[in-house]
Chain A
């Protein structure tokens, strides 16, 4: 199946006084993956809800696989697969019953629906749990079933809203592998994420959203160049020691930033690390943790906006 394109032109969505999406424009070429990157409240989910016809637009225009979302919502729905932020599957039904029901709703015959369910369960590593009720599934299994449910009938455009939020590292890697498979198959993907690493892994292009606006757009490579690559991160719990450490590091190095109990020094080579450790020892500061860290969304925001967002850590769990 060939992917369809997604064109978004100055899309606007407000909730009362609050502007959730503010004149956002971007386009996704057929068969490519676009990552919408942003923290909580950036407007990612609102964006996906508008594009999947769940919310009416308040301004601008969006065309999905050739169908205008305002003028031909039924055409849009027949062209998309949506995997929402919460694994929307029925707990008391089995994995198989869930998939068969979605197949039947989308007009597959009884046999076709059963065959397709079988195929998806096998492909998503759920064959063993196929006849267990979903409430016995792990978080990762639920997410995989949720994704499978949206793929019961193949569509040219797939929306994935934070597919790995809340998953453990193993679950996340498994999900990445499956999503990569979707791209290989030629579908067009629009995925939202809070994780720079995830966007980096999966997306051809990244659009960074902040408070409903596009603040950056480009390939993962281009974005990371703006951030300046990995950093050296120092945790110091004791406030006086931390102040001392920041002062000493700033005297000797550029771009030292402080956020909570974390001090960040740009440059992630062994030399920088050694220098940081030496300075800390000189000042008599006992850090709780010193190490090299790949840039996170937090760093992207800092590089782009100059302020620290309250984002989760890379491997952080959300309750």
Chain B
């Protein structure tokens, strides 16, 4: 048998001279190849159920449960709810990022990429690009469902774009943090359940589903101060019109701080992940 490694059988390409892995062209090119791979890996069935069907159920489900109740308090729930579901799904995107990283560690794919002559940042770019795509898909689905229910952007297209950008930014911020956890593990299921126990209380005890003043007095200060509330309030300000500078600045500052912290942890975990 002629082995494909023998000089006779090999294409000229396989023998090309060594090339460097540095530089932005490599980062982008290899990052996009990996992004495509990440997208292909999330199966179609899973994407349809978790990114399309579930958010739609949440929008209409919560609307049916709480819509009339909150109307009595003067809250237009169809306008109030969609930003909260968007934030909920940004968490979901971030948790799936951690799941995929832990899976890539378990299968040895991460070690393989890290030992290959590809740009050091390509794996991260690939993850971020794929996460952004998932986030965008979820946002589009939720806003479409919200539109059917009566949700409207009332501050013009620029505010609507800022809404989407802020939401995707939040997903990426969270992904940096969850990735640090995912990269430290080889057990995707355990990572996923651990992160759910952090995210669910944070979301519940925020202004996501009911206004902050609906909480008992002892916990209300926490509800108002925590970052999930800050991001949801900023998204609502961008959707509803009215003063946006205050809430958006607060959300962006929170995200910048968290991103700095999470990135440090993620880079550390990435360097240690074999």
Give me the interface of A with B, judged by CB distance under 8 Å. 1, 49, 52-55, 74-75, 77-80, 82, 84-93, 101-102, 104-109, 112-113, 115-116, 119-120, 122-124, 148-154, 177-178, 181-182, 184-185, 187
Cβ-defined partner of B22 (8 Å) among A74, A106, A119, A149 = A74
Give me the interface of B with A, judged by CB distance under 8 Å. 1-7, 9-11, 13-16, 18-22, 29-30, 33-34, 37, 40-41, 43, 107-109, 111-118, 122, 274
**Closest B-chain residue to A88, C-beta based?**
B108
In the complex the two chains form, is B3's CB within 8 Å of A181's CB? yes
In the complex the two chains form, is B20's CB within 8 Å of A181's CB? no
Q: Which residues in A have their C-beta under 8 angstroms from that of B30?
A: 105
In the complex the two chains form, is B4's CB within 8 Å of A123's CB? yes
In the complex the two chains form, is A104's CB within 8 Å of B33's CB? yes
In the complex the two chains form, is A82's CB within 8 Å of B5's CB? no
In the complex the two chains form, is A78's CB within 8 Å of B19's CB? yes
In the complex the two chains form, is B118's CB within 8 Å of A106's CB? yes
Within the complex, the shortest CB–CB distance from B170 to chain A, in Å, comes to 29
A184→B4 CA distance, assembly (Å): 12
In the complex the two chains form, is B117's CB within 8 Å of A74's CB? yes
In the complex the two chains form, is A106's CB within 8 Å of B4's CB? no
In the complex the two chains form, is A105's CB within 8 Å of B43's CB? no
In the complex the two chains form, is A122's CB within 8 Å of B274's CB? no
In the complex the two chains form, is B15's CB within 8 Å of A154's CB? yes
**Closest B-chain residue to A45, C-beta based?**
B274
Cβ-defined partner of A55 (8 Å) among B113, B118, B274 = B274
A120→B109 CA distance, assembly (Å): 20
Once A85-B108, A105-B30 are accepted as A-B contacts, the answer to whether A53 and B20 lie under 8 Å apart by CB is: no
In the complex the two chains form, is B117's CB within 8 Å of A106's CB? yes
In the complex the two chains form, is B274's CB within 8 Å of A49's CB? yes
Cβ-defined partner of B9 (8 Å) among A75, A89, A119 = A119
Within the complex, the shortest CB–CB distance from A78 to chain B, in Å, comes to 4
Other A-B pairs, 19, CB within 8 Å; known A154-B5, A154-B15: A54-B115, A78-B21, A82-B115, A84-B112, A88-B107, A88-B111, A90-B37, A92-B41, A92-B43, A101-B37, A105-B113, A105-B118, A106-B116, A116-B13, A119-B9, A123-B5, A150-B112, A185-B3, A187-B5
In the complex the two chains form, is A185's CB within 8 Å of B117's CB? no
Once A105-B34, A120-B4, A122-B4 are accepted as A-B contacts, the answer to whether A77 and B21 lie under 8 Å apart by CB is: yes
A152→B19 CA distance, assembly (Å): 15
In the complex the two chains form, is A90's CB within 8 Å of B10's CB? no
In the complex the two chains form, is A78's CB within 8 Å of B117's CB? yes
In the complex the two chains form, is B5's CB within 8 Å of A151's CB? yes
Within the complex, the shortest CB–CB distance from A295 to chain B, in Å, comes to 30
A87→B5 CA distance, assembly (Å): 20
Cβ-defined partner of B3 (8 Å) among A84, A149, A182 = A182
Within the complex, the shortest CB–CB distance from B182 to chain A, in Å, comes to 17
Cβ-defined partner of A153 (8 Å) among B16, B37, B108 = B16
Q: Which residues in A have their C-beta under 8 angstroms from that of B5?
A: 123, 151, 154, 181-182, 185, 187
**Closest B-chain residue to A152, C-beta based?**
B14
Q: Which residues in B have their C-beta under 8 angstroms from that of A149?
A: 112
Within the complex, the shortest CB–CB distance from A312 to chain B, in Å, comes to 20
A153→B115 CA distance, assembly (Å): 13
Cβ-defined partner of A123 (8 Å) among B3, B122, B274 = B3
Q: Which residues in B have their C-beta under 8 angstroms from that of A150?
A: 112
In the complex the two chains form, is A77's CB within 8 Å of B11's CB? no
In the complex the two chains form, is A79's CB within 8 Å of B4's CB? no
Within the complex, the shortest CB–CB distance from A76 to chain B, in Å, comes to 9
A107→B33 CA distance, assembly (Å): 11
Within the complex, the shortest CB–CB distance from B96 to chain A, in Å, comes to 15
In the complex the two chains form, is B115's CB within 8 Å of A115's CB? no
Within the complex, the shortest CB–CB distance from A80 to chain B, in Å, comes to 7
A53→B21 CA distance, assembly (Å): 14
A152→B112 CA distance, assembly (Å): 13
Once A77-B117, A109-B13 are accepted as A-B contacts, the answer to whether A185 and B112 lie under 8 Å apart by CB is: no
The 24 sampled A-B contact pairs (Cβ below 8 Å) are: A74-B20, A74-B117, A77-B116, A78-B18, A78-B19, A84-B112, A86-B108, A91-B107, A93-B40, A101-B33, A104-B33, A105-B113, A105-B122, A106-B116, A115-B11, A116-B11, A119-B10, A123-B1, A123-B2, A123-B4, A123-B5, A149-B112, A181-B1, A187-B5
A113→B11 CA distance, assembly (Å): 10
A205→B104 CA distance, assembly (Å): 34
A101→B37 CA distance, assembly (Å): 8
Q: Which residues in B have their C-beta under 8 angstroms from that of A77?
A: 21, 115-117
**Closest B-chain residue to A108, C-beta based?**
B13
Interface centre among B15, B37, B115 (most CB of A within 10 A): B115
Within the complex, the shortest CB–CB distance from B235 to chain A, in Å, comes to 34
Within the complex, the shortest CB–CB distance from B6 to chain A, in Å, comes to 5
**Closest A-chain residue to B122, C-beta based?**
A105
A96→B231 CA distance, assembly (Å): 44
A217→B271 CA distance, assembly (Å): 33
Within the complex, the shortest CB–CB distance from A237 to chain B, in Å, comes to 38
